């Protein structure tokens, strides 16, 4: 594909003690690409996401973002974290801050924006995720789906180059899943570079450029959603699909 690479992992290996959790991972995510990562529990999907914004260190290999190796520590690492937005299954909002403050805080602390400028941007982003009217509430006063949309707005407020989503809808009641997926579909349409760990195969089919299937710390398949879903090559992927598509 003739797109510029934004995230590149080359021959990445990671261990937790004796456990070899990422094995010779090679993955390129182009600018504007949406890559959905799927695979059985324990296959290394979360670890993969966490290495990309260096919440986890790696034992060997290289990871570059926009052509530059990931910084190891200090200010450069803080900047990197801002450049790669991350949204987790649990929303991780600050409970004692309002929705608006949650979205503004890091803009002031990490990006050095003035309070008013930060709040103005926060309101724009809350509007985009359909929550402008909730700006003055506290997280506990919102539904799970609303909290997750705040978490997405908060990550976007850093103007990230890429967004990582680790099972963003897994903790949500069914009726709230779609409102979060809709925000993600919109982001994908707008050209955001995204790595998404999800069991939402509808999202993968409709919005992903590629599906990466992991098993036992390896990338077993890396193909278009169409090819992957209609003709999975590996037994592991066939087995996995037969299980999840039954639901």
Ligand X SMILES: Nc1ncnc2c1ncn2[C@@H]1O[C@H](COP(=O)(O)OP(=O)(O)OP(=O)(O)O)[C@@H](O)[C@H]1O
What is the smallest separation between the CB atom of 56 and Mg ion, expressed in angstroms?
A: 12
41 is an interface residue for ligand X by CB under 6 A? yes
* Contact partner, 225, from Mg ion, ligand X, none, Cβ < 5-8 Å per class: none
User: What residue 94 binds from Mg ion, ligand X, none (CB within 5 to 8 A, per partner kind)?
Assistant: none
The answer to whether 47 contacts ligand X (rule: CB under 6 A) is yes
Single out the segment in contact with ligand X by CB under 6 A; choices: 5-13, 44-52, 77-85, 111-119: 44-52
Q: Which of 25, 30, 34, 46 binds ligand X (CB under 6 A)?
A: 46
Q: How far is the CB of 94 from ligand X (least distance, A)?
A: 24
158 vs 112: CA distance, rounded Å: 11
Of 41-49, 50-58, 90-98, 149-157: span binding Mg ion (CB under 5 A) = 41-49
* 25, 27, 30, 43: residue in contact with ligand X (rule CB under 6 A): 43
Nearest-approach distance from CB 178 to ligand X, in angstroms: 21
Between residues 47 and 102, which has the closer beta carbon with respect to ligand X? 47
**Residue 10: in which H helix or E strand, if any?**
strand 5-16
* CB neighbour list of residue 193: distance below 8 Å, 6 or more residues apart: 6, 7, 29, 30, 31, 32, 33, 34, 161, 162, 163
- Binding of Mg ion by 46 (CB under 5 A): yes
Residues 20 to 39 in contact with ligand X, rule: CB under 6 A: 21, 39
In the complex, least distance from residue 47 CB atom to ligand X, rounded to whole angstroms:
3
Contact (CB, 8 A) for 23 and 217: yes
> Which partner from the list ligand X, Mg ion, none does 44 bind, CB cut-off 5 to 8 Å by kind?
ligand X
Beta strand 84-87 pairing with 68-69: unpaired
Q: How far is CA 225 from the centre of its chain?
A: 18
* Distance in angstroms (rounded) separating the CA atoms of residues 22 and 45: 9
Residue recorded with tokens 């903790």: 171
Contact 96, 137 (CB under 8 A): no
Residue among 188, 192, 90, 183 at smallest CA distance from 144 = 90
Contact status: 90 vs ligand X (CB under 6 A): no
- The H-assigned helical ranges of the chain are 45-52, 74-83, 99-109, 115-128, 144-156, 174-189, 201-207, 225-230, 235-244
107 binds Mg ion (CB under 5 A): no
Interface residues toward Mg ion, by CB under 5 A? 46
Interface residues toward ligand X, by CB under 6 A? 16, 19, 21, 39, 41-47
């Amino acid at each position: 594909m003739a797109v510029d690479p934004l995230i590149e992992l080359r021959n990445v290996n990671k261990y937790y003690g004796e456990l070899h959790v990422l094995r010779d991972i090679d993955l390129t995510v182009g600018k504007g690409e949406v890559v959905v990562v799927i695979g059985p529990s324990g296959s290394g999907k979360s670890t993969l996401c966490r290495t990309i914004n260096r919440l986890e260190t790696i034992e060997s290999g290289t990871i570059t973002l926009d052509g530059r190796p990931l910084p190891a520590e200090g200010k450069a690492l803080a900047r990197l974290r801002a450049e790669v937005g991350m949204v987790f299954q649990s929303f991780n909002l600050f409970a004692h801050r309002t929705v608006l403050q949650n979205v503004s805080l890091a803009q002031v602390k990490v990006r050095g924006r003035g309070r008013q400028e930060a709040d103005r941007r926060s309101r724009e982003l809350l509007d985009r995720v359909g929550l402008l009217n909730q700006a003055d509430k506290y997280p506990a006063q919102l539904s799970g789906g609303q909290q997750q949309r705040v978490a997405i707005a908060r990550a976007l407020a850093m103007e990230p180059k890429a967004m990582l989503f680790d099972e963003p809808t897994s903790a949500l009641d069914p009726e709230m899943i779609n409102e979060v997926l809709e925000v993600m579909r919109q982001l994908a349409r707008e050209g955001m570079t995204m790595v998404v760990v999800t069991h939402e195969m509808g999202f993968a089919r409709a919005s992903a450029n590629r599906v990466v299937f992991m098993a036992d710390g390896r990338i077993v398949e890396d193909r278009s959603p169409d090819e992957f879903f209609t003709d999975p090559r590996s037994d592991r992927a066939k087995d996995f699909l037969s299980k999840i598509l039954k639901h």
